[in-house]
Structure 1
Amino acid sequence: MTTTRRERGFLFEDFEIDRTFDHHWGRTFTAAESMVFATSTMHYNPLYFDDEYARSVGFTRAPVIPFLVFATVLGLSVEDLSEAGGPFLGLEDLRYGQTVYPGDTVRASSVVVAARPSASRPGWGIVEWETTGTNQREEMVIRYRRTNLSRRRAQAEEEPRC
């Protein structure tokens, strides 16, 4: 049996300003994974694993840890934005909206807000996206801007992807 390798992701030239990517996967959070995330990251704030405590400070129950929401939304965007390769350069303007609770499903979309050739790395460009995560009611749960290096098409043809 012969398999054909399919290159995934987009290159610098594909990131036109204002292009929108509706990332096709969504993710439904569970209480168990939030607990595992809290434990494995040593995030022992009772707000995220004690329903009674969460209610005492104004929540309906223990919410999903916001950093897990961030990591998940970032992961949902990788296939479209950075899977073709390119180092992560930074994140800014991170804002949380509606609280995410176990049982909520989050989806993500990203808009290209800036793109320019790299002055210091020939064959590469710098791309910035604004990514928004929304819940099943289309309410914003997270928004941030991130920047990556992105290979230019000519560079990608010369170097195989990892």
Structure 2
Amino acid sequence: MNSHEEVLEPSAFPVRARGRQYEDFQAGEHLDHHWGRTLTAGDATLFATTTLAYSPLYFNADHARAEGHRDLVVHPMLALCTVVGLSVEDLSEAGGPFLGIDDLVFHRPVHPGDTLTSTSTVLEKRASRTQPGFGIVTWRTEGRNQDGDLVVAFTRSNLVVMREAQQ
């Protein structure tokens, strides 16, 4: 290290709170999540391979076409993970345990080149009975392709910190 270089301590970088807290959600509120994500053939093949999902629909375009698809099929769990990931910034980035997904329905296949977007509606919120300073928020999330076709829909819940617990 040169003598003119300054060493910055971690404390020199301010911690910035991210995400929304329990009080920031209102039942019925609709959220359009950010710009979306285009899934590629590479994404589809890598996901299928690394998860050991060896259905030829996921990595053999000729087979997928013979089964009536226009191209490879993106593994439905990759579509789900993408749609959940698109919602994190608005719903759960502040932290708090993920409590699960319910009522999951895959409505149509996703193919390489499809761009997925995500929207959510706050279904309900309530104070946690067992975790003081936290509430439970439940959202209905939908993922759509570039044509506006519904691809996947589900409800999900998270434990969300209450603002008063942060003070």
TM (norm. structure 1) is: 0.92
Equivalent residue number for residue 91 of structure 1: 101
Q: What SS does the corresponding residue of 2:73 show, helix, strand or coil? A: coil
Equivalent residue number for residue 107 of structure 1: 117
Return the alpha-carbon distance in structure 2 between the equivalents of residues 53 and 35 of structure 1: 14
Q: What SS does the corresponding residue of 2:34 show, helix, strand or coil? A: strand
Query: Identity of paired residues, percent?
Result: 47
Instruction: Say whether residues 1:67 and 2:77 are aligned partners.
Output: yes
Q: What SS does the corresponding residue of 2:80 show, helix, strand or coil? A: helix
Q: Which amino acid aligns with 2:51?
A: T
Runs of 4+ in 1 over 6 A off after TM superposition: none
Q: Deviations over 1:126-156 (max 9, x none)?
A: 1100000111111111100001100000112
Q: Which residues of structure 1 form unaligned runs of 5+?
A: 158-162
Candidates 128, 149, 158, aligned match of 1:118: 128
Please show how residues 26-65 of structure 1 align to structure 2 within 5 Å: 26-65=36-75
Return the alpha-carbon distance in structure 2 between the equivalents of residues 97 and 148 of structure 1: 24
Q: Which amino acid aligns with 1:130?
A: R
Equivalent residue number for residue 3 of structure 2: none
Equivalent residue number for residue 5 of structure 2: none
TM (norm. structure 2) is: 0.89
Contact 2:57 / 2:73 at 8 angstroms: preserved in 1?
yes
Q: What SS does the corresponding residue of 1:25 show, helix, strand or coil? A: coil
Q: What SS does the corresponding residue of 2:35 show, helix, strand or coil? A: strand
Q: Which has the larger radius of gyration?
A: 2
Equivalent residue number for residue 17 of structure 2: 7
